Amino acid sequence: MYILGISGSPRLEGNTDLLLENSLEGARSRGAETEKVILNNLKFSPCQECADMLNNGNCKVKDDIQQVYQKVLKADAVIIASPIFFGSLSAQTKMMIDRFQCAWRGKYLFNTDIFASKKRIGAFISVEASERQDFFDNAKAVIKNFFSVINAVYKEEFFCAGLDEKGSVLRHADFLKQAFELGLRIC
């Protein structure tokens, strides 16, 4: 099983990144092959809604997001991890999702579903400083739409409220354990 973890946090080794890594570690403990993509390390532009878009579900803009498309195609499961910024996903996460507009267009307008080759499992990990459940709900709605486009069943979620300081999740062994167990369940 190949599990792709996508980190939408700009903070390396921050709470979101640490929880994602624990989930991937759980999956590896069950024999899964895992890979983590850190969106903040990629060079890609936001969706340009090109006037001459392709109708086959592929994006014509050639940048680092092309490698994400290929990894998602290969994946049996995708874990998206994003902190909450301004009541929803981080800009990095939303920008990546918007770049899948070509796949949405192909699937729903032209019946060319490039991700139809298999069903995937989808999981969402999110962290926020406040205690606002509605912020998680906002982010979750976007993630569910993304998973629909990539033919992933929204199966797992883990939300951690009240975490702001970088690495503060390390003081919450229960959170780290729950993230690890999410990775186990995906396998």
- What is the domain partition of the chain in residue ranges? 2-186
Residue 55, pLDDT score: 82
Q: What is the pLDDT of residues 21-61, one digit of tens each?
A: 999 999 999 999 999 999 999 999 999 988 888 888 889 99
For domain 2-186, the CATH class is alpha beta
Q: How far is CA 73 from CA 2, 61, 69, 127, 165, in A?
A: 11, 18, 6, 26, 35
Q: What is the pLDDT of residues 135-150, one digit of tens each?
A: 999 999 999 999 999 9
Q: How far apart are CA 94 and CA 112, in angstroms?
A: 23
Q: Which residue, among 81, 77, 91, has the nearest Cα to 37 in the 3D structure? A: 81
Which single residue is written with the structure tokens 């709900």?
137
Q: How far is CA 28 from CA 24, 172, 183, in A?
A: 6, 22, 8
What's the pTM value of the predicted model, to 2 decimals? 0.95
Give the phi and the psi of residue 144 in degrees, each rounded to 5. Answer: -60, -40
Q: Where are the beta strands (DSSP E) in the chain?
A: 2-7, 33-38, 77-85, 88-89, 120-127, 152-160
Handedness of CA 7, 13, 16, 20 (dihedral sign): positive
Cβ-based burial of 40 (10 A; exposed 0-12, middle 13-18, buried ≥19): middle
